[in-house]
Structures are given as structure tokens and as C-alpha cells.
Chains A and B, each alone.
Chain A
Amino acid sequence: MNPQKLRLGLILAAAGMLLALVLPLSGEAAMSLSIWPIGVALTVGAALLFVAGAWRGGAWAVAFGLMGVLCGVATTLALLRDPAIAGSAASGFWIMVAAVWLGAALCVMQLATMRPRSELARRALNMVIPLLFGAVVFYLWEVGIRGFGVSPVILPAPSAAAARFAASLPTLETDFVQTFVRGVLIGYVIGCGAGLLVAIVAQRFSFLGRGLLPLGNFFSALPLVGVAPIMVMWFGFDWPSKAAVVVLVTFFPMLVNSLAGLAAAGHMERDLMRSYGADHRQMLMKLYLPAALPFIFNALKINATLALIGAIVAEFFGTPTQGIGFRISTEAGRMAIDMVWAEIALAAIAGMAFYGLVALAERATTFWHSSYRT
């Protein structure tokens, strides 16, 4: 980024921090930062660090800037503990938040333009930048909620949600087992397995394949989660009906992608196997299936998310007394929104972990595919 702009921005941030020393912190009681010496020290320190960053420029600016940001974050978060400030913060507080935001944004922008030489540094950078960005968002969210005093019913602060998460681990665990281990995993295995098997049979008899592919495409697009009440009717309220919904939801994408994958082997490779006098089973195991792996894993990844969504939404239609979907709808009805967010956090973690595992398996088995060599 333009070094002039970086310099200017950091100086502005420093100015903001210094201004906070004089402006009122709370709309309620008249107070300023000067009553809290550590706070003053941190604020002044942050300002100095910003100035140092502006002076040095480049990577040092990022280093100093981030340190200054940390000081600012510590100060603002500590300030929020004061009941006079939380809920009715005034201009002094907000200008400090703005300065922290500006400093962090500048660091992110500067990092994005850096091009380190080593592969390791580049990979590390690619992870640090979004994490930093996310951290800033979380910080603003926290400060905004607590500073403005937003009702926890509308949106709880991340810290409150995290506290609720930690406090409700047993409930979360039962919900997780019910929804994920029983509903999602079992349904996923059955659905994907069935999709692959049907695709293998359909490839053998091309008449079947030509009919199933358009049908599979058609059914993948339908809102299949709507069959949840029917599944409840057939399999009862408990997890089998949710697993059944997951089976249905994961079957069609798997079928379609597997059919495409089994047709992906090139003509030359097929002729090669034929010239060896290979029978169909040998061609399947040695050519069609390995060539289809990238497509199969594509479907497995899509299905990882679809399965979780399917299980949770199926629970919206009725479930005995546990499960992520159940908890979300009942707690939402009770306006216990922080519990809802805790459940959502659980679902997000489960979703990302599941997807990540499938992606790792993909990397291990399809390392040879050209998409890894760009």
C-alpha cells in the first residue's frame, strides 16, 4: 500500500488515541481516562507505537502498529468493565475504538501487499491476514454490543456467547451426539455409499446412466429437506428420521458427481485397458474409479455441509428432546439467544471440522490431480 497513506493513517490513529485522553468516556457519569493511570499509560503507549510505525514504515509499521492495536484493545475492553461506560459510551471511548480499528485495518492492508520470498512465509501470511481480519470483526462486534448496550436478545456479545458455550458443554455434547454422530454421520455414510454404488451400476448399463443423470440433477435441486415431516411419520421422531433425510439429501449430489467422474477416464486410457484384454471389473478398479476420485471427493465435500444442514433443519420439524436443531428452535422461541448462538457456534465448528477432514482425505488420495499443480 501507498507508504504515504500508511504513514498518514498511523498518525491519525495516534491522534485519535491521544484525543481519547481528553474527551468524555461515558454519557452517563462525567469521567475521563485520567482517573486510571494504567489506562493512560496504555493509551499513550499505543499512540507512541503508532507514531513509531509511521516513522519506520514497511514491515516495522505492521509490527509497531499491531502492538499499538493490542494496547488499545486492552484499554477499551478494560474500560467496558465499568458499568458507567458499558451501555452508554461516549465520544472518547468511540474515538479510541476508531483509532484501534484504523490501526488494525492499516496493518491488514500493509500485510496484504507484502510479498515474502519464502513459501513458508507466504503460506503463514495467507493464514494470518484473514485471521487478523476476523479478529478485528470480533473485536468491533464485542465493543459495539457492550458499548451501545444492545439487548442480548437481539445480538449477544461474543464474550457472552463464549461464556454461555463454556457453561453449557454437557448440553452441547448431547446435542452434538444426537445430531451429528447419529443423524449426520450415519445418513452421510449410507447416502454417499448408495450414491456411489448406484453410479457404478449405472455406468455398467449405459441405458440406466443416461436416464439417471438428468433425474439426479433434477432431484438435487429440489428442497429435499421438506421431506422431513414424512420421514418423521415413517421413522418416528428420533434420529432415524433425521438420518433418512440426510440420506436423501446426500444421495443425489453423490450420484450425479460419481456418474460424471466414472465417465471422466479418457478414451486413450480406455483403449489401453482394452488392448490388455481387461474385463469390466479390472477396468473399474484400475481405471474408472481412480479417475473418478476427484469428482467423488467434490461430492463428499458438498455433502458434508448438506448433511449437517439437512439434519439440523429436519430437527426443526420435530425431534424429541435433544439435537442442535431442536435446541435452536426451542431456545429461539424462549428468546434465550445466547444459547442459540452457542449452538450455532457448535454447528459451525462441527461443519468446518467435518469439511476439513474430508478435504484432508481428498488431498491424500488425489494428490496427483492437475488442480494441485497450478
Chain B
Amino acid sequence: MTNSALALPASGAGPLRHHPLVLRYAPIATIVLALIAIWYVAALLMNWSLVRDGFEREETPYTVSDVIAGTMSAERPLLPAPHQVISAFADSVFGYAPTAPRSLVYHAVVTLSATLLGFLLGSLFGIALALMIVHSAVLEKSLLPWIICSQMVPILALAPIFVVVLGALGLHGLLPKSIISAYLCFFPVTVGMVKGFTSPDPMQLDLMRTWSATPRQVLSKLRWPSAVPYLFASLKVAISISLIGAIVAELPTGGEAGIGARLLAGSYYGQTIQIWAALLAAAVLASGLIGLVDLAEKITGIRMGARP
């Protein structure tokens, strides 16, 4: 009943279940394990009729355990079992040379390059625009409402047009995809950075005024440091959107390379496990990228004296 987290027994070392590491990771680990177990059961149930019909068609005698084994290793399952996905993933990553068209690494690199380029362009442009908006009342009143509105518009739906139009203009490959990614991520970065640059306390701004600080000094000594948390929050959003943009941009042209292309190909040819492996690759990319931004945030935080 008591809410005091401090009211632990007064003796020194508590039982193992109160160890801080366990307290932190036990819930996640338990739920992940539970989810994997549910996944296996679901694979069993969902592939059951598929496998059993397969046996019936071939008119081979089968037992229940045959069917169970079959659900765990079907070629075109409705829901592949976790180990199938992982082995397909491992095969595609390690089984081929990184430059081979069948290697997931190759596709991942294609998507990744578009993502990173778009992210870089979009973020830089977004920060620049935010700086301009913060220093110009005209832009703030006329442009900012549109940028905020644009966040409600499903911009991702524009991806096909962009690819087609830019293709008609003669741009193929990396550039149109990065332009789409850049376009997608510049909006959240702009909005986030405007919030960040305007986040200083009025008291702090007054203090700078009493020292006759120039707008440039206010920017470098007050606004930028205050905006750092907002920067990293926006960058995390931007990089995930950038990745989604790169993947979606690969769809319209029935693209040949990239994770989106793999997803599309898998769905056209009914290669379920290939789709799941590509999704896993996308998940790995996404978490890796966000992890990098997180790392950058922690390092910056340590250097700026943030609370651990």
C-alpha cells in the first residue's frame, strides 16, 4: 500500500529480486519471452490447416507430431516461426557477399544510404529554417502555421509522385529517394527546433538583455544549449521517418534494390519468410539508427553536465 520506494528492509543487502539490474530488465525480459512463446503458439495454430491440407493433398499418412513439425518449418507459412525468420535473416546477411543482389546487407545499404543522405539534408535544412523563423517575426507568422499544418497531411503519400516526377526529369536511384526522405524529416525537425530555440525562460532572456548581448550571442550562448534536448528528440523522429520514407520510396517504381523493394518482391511472389526477414532487417536498421542518435545524445549530455 505504501508508496515509499525507500521503505526497504533496513538490513544491508536485500534479496536478489530487489537488485537494481534485475528490477530494470526482468519485466522486459519476461514480456519478450512471453511474446516469443505466444508467437510460437500462433505459428502452430495459423499454419495448422495449411500443413494438414498439404499432407492430405499428397495423400501421405501423417501424425499430429508430423503436423506440428510441419508448422514449424513450412515453406510458405502463414506465420513463420521465429527460428525460421532468424535463420532466413542470417542466411541473407551472412550467406551472400555484401554486394550480391540476394544479400540483405546489399539492400540494407541501399536503403540506409538514402536514409542517411535524406536525414542529413532534411535536418540541416530544418535547423536552418528554424533559425530563420526564430529571428524573423514575418516568417514566424506566415510560414510556421503552414509547416505545422503540413504535419497533419499524409506527406508520405506524396512519395510515388516524387519518384515518378523526378524520374521524368531524369533523376533515378539514390537522389529522388533522399529528396523524399529529406522532405519528410524536415518538418518535424523545423517544428521541434523552433520550440527548442524559443524554450529559454523569459528570465534568462532578460538576463542576456541586461548584458547587451547581440542576437548572435543570445543564439550561441542561450538558445542553442536550451534547444539541445529538443534537437535530439526531433532527430530521433526524423531518422525513423527518413527510414520509412526511403522504404516507401522504393515501392512505386517496383524498385530493384532496397528493403522496400525486397518487401514488395516478397509480397508479389508469396515469399513470406523473405518478407519477415526484410522486416527484421528494417527493425534492426531502425533501432540501430535510433541507438546512434541516443548515444550522441548521451555523450552530449555528459559534456553539458546533464543529470545522469
A interface residues with partner B (beta carbon < 8 Å): 1, 108-109, 111-113, 126, 129-130, 132-134, 153-155, 207-212, 214-215, 218, 221-223, 225-227, 229-230, 232-234, 267, 270-271, 274, 304-305, 308-309, 312-313, 316-318, 324-325, 328-329, 332-333, 335, 337, 340-341, 343-344, 347-348, 351-352, 354-356
Contacts and interface: CB of A to CB of B under 8 A. Distances in A.
Nearest to A306: B154
5 contacts: A212-B31, A230-B272, A305-B151, A328-B160, A348-B153
A215 B154 contact: no
B157 A225 contact: no
B152 A112 contact: no
A185 B257 CA distance: 34
Contact of A232 (B163, B267, B282): B267
Contacts of A153: 165, 168
> B interface, how many residues as a size bin?
35 or more
B78 interface: yes
Nearest to A209: B27
B157 A347 contact: yes
A110 to B, nearest CB: 9
A229 B263 CA distance: 7
B20 to A, nearest CB: 12
A214 B28 contact: yes
A325 B282 CA distance: 22
B131 interface: no
B155 to A, nearest CB: 8
A326 B282 CA distance: 24
B231 interface: no
Contact of A305 (B29, B138, B152, B267): B152
A352 B153 contact: yes
A355 B156 contact: no
B157 to A, nearest CB: 4
B217 interface: no
B11 interface: no
Contacts of A309: 154-157
B264 A229 contact: yes
Given A154-B165, A328-B161, 10 more contacts: A108-B138, A221-B240, A226-B247, A232-B267, A234-B78, A316-B252, A328-B160, A329-B252, A333-B252, A343-B157
Given A112-B138, A134-B146, A308-B154, A208 B27 contact: yes
B153 A347 contact: yes
B251 A223 contact: no
A329 B28 CA distance: 40
Among A221, A227, A347, chain B packs the most CB atoms within 10 A around the CB of A221
B220 interface: no
B87 interface: no
B3 interface: yes
B32 A215 contact: yes
Contacts of B207: none
Nearest to A132: B142
Contact of A340 (B156, B161, B263, B283): B161
B286 A223 contact: yes
Contacts of B140: 112
